[in-house]
């Protein structure tokens, strides 16, 4: 009786996943660093103020609303660019609109985030504020991961839509726990 010999299996070359995981790692580090800073930093109670607003909360609410509206433009323009809107042929300027709406949205979000971190810090005593603090740090982590993933060639096709969807979903939660809350609690003020 002969004993069957195991068949030789072809060696599958290992694919180096480090270049694809690096954006996620850096994004995670950014989120953690912002959370640690927000928690360890002694809040000052003030940070920045733009003229034309009655106070910091109104300023942050309107800038966050502008950011949120531009994020909607981001989602719609991305869907149009990738042919995911039935019956819609994306105009040639859709890519430019997508890039610039993203840039402006980011710029609008910076004074809001700066004020939140520097003036208020990460707070965990009120559920709404806890959720808002966690979403804020997560948003910038996802944003960094998405931006670092953009120049990577060979990423799975679902990578950018997933990161973009996470960024939009997180921004929606941020807007609901800040601007929407402010407007429904104090009214629409400038």
Which pLDDT score, from 0 to 100, does residue 14 have? 63
Does the pLDDT of residue 55 top 70, yes or no? yes
Tokens 């994020």, located at residue: 71
Which pLDDT score, from 0 to 100, does residue 52 have? 79
Does the pLDDT of residue 9 top 70, yes or no? no
Lowest mean pLDDT among 46-55, 127-136, 148-157: 46-55
Which pLDDT score, from 0 to 100, does residue 51 have? 75
- b vs e for 17-53, b when ≥16 Cβ sit within 10 Å of the residue's Cβ? eeeeeebbeebbebbeebbeebeeeeeeeebeeeeeb
Q: What is the rounded CA–CA span in Å between residue 107 and residue 143?
A: 13
Residue 1 lies in a domain: no
Give how many domains the chain has, as a whole number.
1
Residue 70 lies in a domain: yes
Conformational region of residue 52, where left means phi above 0, alpha means psi within -120 to 50, and beta covers everything else: left
Which three-class secondary structure string do you get for 2-60? CCCCCCCCCCCCCCCCHHHHHHHHHHHHHHHHHHHHHHHCCCCCCCCCCCCCCCHHHHH
What is the SS3 assignment for 125? Answer: coil
Does the pLDDT of residue 73 top 60, yes or no? yes
Helix (H) and strand (E) counts in the chain = 6, 0
Q: What is the rounded CA–CA span in Å between residue 99 and residue 72?
A: 13
Whether 74 and 95 have beta carbons less than 8 Å apart is answered as no
Residue 30 lies in a domain: yes
Residue 2 lies in a domain: no
The set of residues, in sequence order, having a beta carbon less than 8 Å from that of 64 and lying 6+ positions away, is 108, 109, 112, 174, 175, 178, 179
Range 62-71 average pLDDT:
97
Does the pLDDT of residue 18 top 90, yes or no? no
Residue 6 lies in a domain: no
Residue 15 lies in a domain: no
Range 38-61 average pLDDT:
85
DSSP symbol at 93 = T
pLDDT digits (tens, 9 = 90+) for 163-189: 999 999 999 999 999 999 999 999 998
Residue 187 lies in a domain: no
Which pLDDT score, from 0 to 100, does residue 6 have? 62
Residue 185 lies in a domain: no
Does the pLDDT of residue 149 top 60, yes or no? yes
Structural domain range at position 157? 21-180
Does the pLDDT of residue 50 top 80, yes or no? no
Range 142-162 average pLDDT:
91
pLDDT digits (tens, 9 = 90+) for 91-119: 999 999 999 999 999 999 999 999 999 99
């Amino acid at each position: 009786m002969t004993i069957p010999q195991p068949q030789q299996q072809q060696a599958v070359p290992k694919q180096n996943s480090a270049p694809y995981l690096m954006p996620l790692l850096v994004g995670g580090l950014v989120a953690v660093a912002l959370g640690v800073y927000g928690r360890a930093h002694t809040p000052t109670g003030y940070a920045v103020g733009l003229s034309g607003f009655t106070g910091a909360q109104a300023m942050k609410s309107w800038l966050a609303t502008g950011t949120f509206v531009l994020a909607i433009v981001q989602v719609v323009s991305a869907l149009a660019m990738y042919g995911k809107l039935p019956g819609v042929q994306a105009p040639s300027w859709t890519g430019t609109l997508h890039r610039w709406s993203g840039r402006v949205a980011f710029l609008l979000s910076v004074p809001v985030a700066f004020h939140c971190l520097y003036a208020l810090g990460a707070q965990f005593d009120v559920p709404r504020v806890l959720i808002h603090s966690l979403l804020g740090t997560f948003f910038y982590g996802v944003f960094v991961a998405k931006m670092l993933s953009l120049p990577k060639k060979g990423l799975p096709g679902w990578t950018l839509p997933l990161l973009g969807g996470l960024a939009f979903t997180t921004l929606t939660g941020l807007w609901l726990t800040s601007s929407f809350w402010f407007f429904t609690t104090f009214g629409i003020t400038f």
